[in-house]
Every structure is written in structure tokens, then in C-alpha cells.
Amino acid sequence: MSFSLTVVESDETVDADNSLMPDAGKPSATSAPVPSERAVLVRGAALMLFVLVVSAVLHLFVVSRFQHGASQQRLHDRFRGALATGTAPVGPLDGDGRIVIAGTPVAYLQIPALDVEEVVVEGTSSSNLYAGPGHRRDTPLPGQIGRSVIVGRRLLFGGPFASLDRLRPGSEIVATTAQGVFRFAVIGVRRAGDPLPEAPRGRTSRLVLATAGGSGLNPSGVLWVDADLQGDAVGGPAAVITAATLPGEEQAGASDSRTLWALVLWLQLLLVAIVASLWSWRRWGHALTWIVGTPLLLLVSNLVWDEFFRLLPNVV
């Protein structure tokens, strides 16, 4: 009797143990599938591409315009102070006889028909035009005898000259410099292949505005607006930089490759950030990668786009 009871108890014990221990060879219904390494890399690469595209759009339509607005505010304050103290440039040399530094504010430009009010800086390289329109250094300042050229962007960094093609003969352009306020009347808008207007003669001044032709997203060539001074022109210092000595990156429609090394550096840093994000994606999961990696990638990619846009024509 006792032997029979012992057998029954042993069977029950075995059955209970078996019921508590599922077969190791069978997959658990609650275990989550582990993604393969290739799947993780594909997802991570897609995420990185998404961040890069988003940062490009943000830089094009948000960041660059914010940079332009902030630069214009600083330039406006600086130029107003220079006018008040009589230290604003009136020519290619400053009060100490040195060449005016590129990026220095030299004029204040107003185009009422387009609601444009921009501080003009010295120099027309792609880098100079991040802040606003630039004065071509081999020409006199607006209002001085001769032909003054100002180059501005059509799309990037605020696109101050986005609507120049809407100007019509007779439209007013006002330029304020250290020598006074000068009012110009538009005489025409021209593109590549159009005949040049007759050159100004005597003590007259012509203002020429230049930007990209075509549409904002599909620029083509250079668009020019010619305007003649309504009144008497003033004299100015002799030119120091001529058309022959003007650097190539300051020509209308030229790009600036002097900081190409910086673009290469930021691209290398971006590659490191991408690799680190992919490693984080696999090691720490999605949430932490989004929180830590996204701001870093946006920052570095914006630095990449900032340098990349310098390689585009300065009128875009």
C-alpha cells in the first residue's frame, strides 16, 4: 500500500514539474523577434537620410533666413552708429588708409515697390552675401560718379533680391551712404543677351543691381536692374581694386571655394555622428538614439549645408 502511494506521488511530482517547465526546443509565444543586423543598419540609415533631408530643408527655408535677419539687425545698428560718428566708409579705404574689410556695412538700400530694406556690405563673395547684398569693390559707392554695382541673393539667406524682375521703368531705389541720400529711377531690367544701356556720362551716377535670373528654385544666369540717379552725383576716392584685380569669387554668379576644407571637415564629423548613431540604435535602442542623436545630427548637418551653400553661385 505504501509502495503504491509512493509511485502515485512520484508520478504527480513529475507531472507537476513537467507542467512548470515548457520544452526548451519550442519557441515561447511571448518572446519578441530579434531584428537582424542588416535590418538595424537599414533602419538606421533610413533615419539618418531622413534627418539629413529635413536639415537641408530647414537650413534652406528657416536657418538661412534667420541668419540673414540676425546679421541685418547687427549691420543696421553698426551702420547707424558709423553714420552718427562719421566713420562710415566713403570709398575703398577706411580712415586709416587701409582697404575696407569685406563685410563692413557701406550703404542702406531701399526699394519701396518691393518692400526691400537692406544694409549693403562691402564685398560680393558668396560668404559676404550671407549677411545681405554686397557692394562690388571695383565700382564706386551708390551716388558717386560712375557705375555702382550691388549684388544680392534671390533665394538663400533671406532672398533680398527675390523680386527684382518685378521692377518697372520709373520704380524708385533709395541708397543712403555716408555722403547722403540718393534717389535712383529704374531704366530697365535685362538678362544675358539683352543690349546694354548707354553708359552714363559726365557727373552722373548709375546703380546696377544683380541677382539670379530664372526662378528661385531654378536659377539661370544673372538678372540686372539699371537705375539712374535723379540729381547730381558726388565725387569719391580713386579706385584701389579694378575689374582686372577683383577676385574671381566676387564676380556676379561666382561661387566661393576658399572654405572647401571646412566642408570636408564637417562631412567627416557627420560620418562619425552617423556611425555613432547606428551603434546607439543597435546598442541602446530607438528612444535614446532619437533623444541624443537627432539634435547632434541636425547640428552637424546644418554646418555641412552652411559650407555647401558657399559653393553655390553668390546670386542664388
Distance CA 34, CA 31 (A): 9
Single-letter amino acid code for the residue at 129:
L
Angle at 291 between CA 290 and CA 296, to 5 degrees: 85
pTM of the model: 0.81
Examine residue 212 and state whether it is found in any structural domain, yes or no.
yes
Instruction: Tell me the per-residue pLDDT of 249-270, one tens digit each, with 9 for 90 and over.
Output: 999 888 888 888 999 998 889 8
Q: Is residue 3, in this structure, part of any structural domain at all? A: no
Q: Of the segments 129-133, 279-283, 284-288, 302-306, which one has the largest average pLDDT value?
A: 129-133
**Distance, CA of 70 to CA of 303 (rounded, Å):** 17
Residue 28 lies in a domain: no
Q: In this structure, what C-alpha cell is assigned to residue 235?
A: 565725387
Cα–Cα nearest to 315, from 154, 120, 130: 154
Kindly provide the b/e burial profile for residues 82-97, where b requires at least 16 CB atoms within 10 angstroms of the residue's own CB.
beeeeebbbbbeeeee
Whether residue 316 is contained in a domain is answered as yes
Contacts of 118 (CB under 8 A, 6+ apart): 72, 108, 109, 132, 133, 152, 160
Residues 292 and 276 sit within 8 Å (Cβ to Cβ): no
Per-residue pLDDT reduced to its tens digit, 85-113 = 999 999 999 988 899 999 999 999 999 99
Say if 1 falls within a structural domain. Answer: no
Reply yes or no on whether the pLDDT at 9 is more than 50.
no
How many domains in the chain?
1
Look at 217 and 5; give whichever has higher pLDDT: 217
Q: Which of 141-150, 197-206, 260-269, 292-301 holds the top average pLDDT?
A: 141-150
Domain presence at residue 32: no
In a domain, 8, yes or no: no
Cell numbers at residue 262, please?
Answer: 571646412
pLDDT digits (tens, 9 = 90+) for 46-69: 766 777 788 888 888 888 899 999
Neighbour count for residue 27 (Cβ, 10 Å): 10
3-state secondary structure the chain: CHHHHHHHHHHHHHHHHHHHCCCCCCCCCCCCCCCCHHHHHHHHHHHHHHHHHHHHHHHHHHHHHHHHHHHHHHHHHHHHHHHHHCCCCCCCECCCCCECCCCCEEEEEEEHHHCEEEEEEECCCCCHHHCCCEECCCCCCCCECEEEEEECCCCCCCCCCCCHHHCCCCCEEEEEECCEEEEEEEEEEECCCCCCCCCCCCCCEEEEEEEEEECCCCEEEEEEEEEEECCCCECCCCCCCCCCCCCHHHCCCCCCCCCHHHHHHHHHHHHHHHHHHHHHHHHCCHHHHHHHHHHHHHHHHHHHHHHHHHHCCCCC
Which grid coordinates belong to 221? Answer: 544666369
Check which CATH number belongs to the domain holding 307 and give it.
2.40.260.10
Per-residue model confidence as pLDDT tens digits over 210-219: 999 986 567 7
Please check whether residue 16 is in contact with residue 265, taking contact to mean a CB–CB distance below 8 angstroms: no
Name the residue type at position 286.
H
Q: Residue 2: inside a domain, yes or no?
A: no
Residue 253's domain comprises 37-316
Report the percent of the chain where pLDDT is more than 90.
49
